Copies of this chain bind each other. A is one copy, B any other.
């Protein structure tokens, strides 16, 4: 936990949770401001007047053993100081607190408490999803599948990327999603060569792949799916071949997912197929990522990942080939790791034209 050369810090006697998603995971609270002290004998959420009623309701609903302090800025500092007054050392979420705040805590809020950087403590708990969490992600996946089935025919009317994206988002909300789980990607023709293209005012034409990457949000949980579709065939032979190669690559990745398997080996399974096709350099991103309360969370499915899959992990498998100036292809499922492999939660057919 210590960087080289620093004196050994005392073992932390408490954790101050500042990541709002982690606070939600631990307490049920969904407000946009708050900090949670997790101490040996109590957990205390400090938030402001906008969220007083809501915080008490949500924590009661979740049955979380936390108390709520509602206070303005000056009073928040006082309450925090009181909670930390007996602590020789307090763990902070180093990846979820700004340097500015850590400095203020160190010199002003808690001058006689040693602040200890930690990483991934709550995220570690969040990796393995319980049945209720999987059910929410599965419902988010189902909504995305159904929404795409409903709106797919509109592509034949040459909508703009932005028009198609907003109808897709609206359908997901009509079907019960709180909203999209991230900004929907609709990338047609040459735009599909950009993995994270924002839907624009270009009309979607015939004869070229259209990358649709989107998901739904259900009770805080995300889904994530990419399909590459087209209207009246694909003209370019390289892109036709890319569709086939990515399909085989993605299937190889899903087939590799199982408990005990290294995430880097799932990446390798996808990457080998694409490399053999001569497009090693055209697969410009990692193979996938965990999905849960965040659209991108642990574990990472990439060549550099040191993670190993476990039952209850929910990850994406999403290889792609991008040919600048020409177009691109990506196919992605969200899958849950099971005892004997994995179960895809997204189920839209991959040969959807």
Q: Taking the complex as formed, is A173 at the interface, i.e. its CB lies under 8 A from any CB of chain B?
A: yes
* Binary contact readout A79-100 vs B (1 if CB under 8 angstroms, 0 otherwise): 0000000000000101111111
Q: Taking the complex as formed, is A166 at the interface, i.e. its CB lies under 8 A from any CB of chain B?
A: yes
Please tell me if the beta carbons of A107 and B304 are within 8 angstroms of each other in the complex: no
Question: For residue A117, which residues in chain B have a CB less than 8 angstroms away from its CB?
Answer: 99-100, 103
Bound form: Cα–Cα A99–B284 in Å:
29
Give the contacting residue for A102; candidates B92, B99, B169; CB below 8 A.
Answer: B99
Give the contacting residue for A196; candidates B50, B173, B183, B194; CB below 8 A.
Answer: B50
Q: Taking the complex as formed, is A4 at the interface, i.e. its CB lies under 8 A from any CB of chain B?
A: yes
In residues 151-207 of chain A, which contact B (Cβ within 8 Å)?
162, 166, 169-170, 173-174, 178-179, 183, 193-198
Question: For residue A162, which residues in chain B have a CB less than 8 angstroms away from its CB?
Answer: 178
Bound form: Cα–Cα A98–B50 in Å:
26
Give the contacting residue for A4; candidates B107, B197, B198, B284; CB below 8 A.
Answer: B107
Give the contacting residue for A98; candidates B99, B179, B197; CB below 8 A.
Answer: B99
Question: For residue A196, which residues in chain B have a CB less than 8 angstroms away from its CB?
Answer: 31-32, 50-51, 54
Please tell me if the beta carbons of A195 and B49 are within 8 angstroms of each other in the complex: yes
Q: Taking the complex as formed, is A67 at the interface, i.e. its CB lies under 8 A from any CB of chain B?
A: no
Q: Taking the complex as formed, is A30 at the interface, i.e. its CB lies under 8 A from any CB of chain B?
A: yes
Please tell me if the beta carbons of B195 and A50 are within 8 angstroms of each other in the complex: yes
Which residues on A are within 8 Å of B, measured CB to CB? 3-4, 30-32, 48-54, 73, 92, 94-103, 107, 117, 119, 162, 166, 169-170, 173-174, 178-179, 183, 193-198, 284-285, 304, 324
25 interchain pairs (CB within 8 A)? Answer: A3-B103, A3-B107, A4-B107, A31-B196, A50-B194, A50-B196, A50-B284, A50-B285, A51-B194, A52-B284, A53-B193, A54-B194, A54-B196, A73-B304, A92-B99, A94-B98, A95-B98, A95-B101, A97-B99, A99-B99, A99-B101, A100-B119, A162-B178, A166-B173, A169-B173
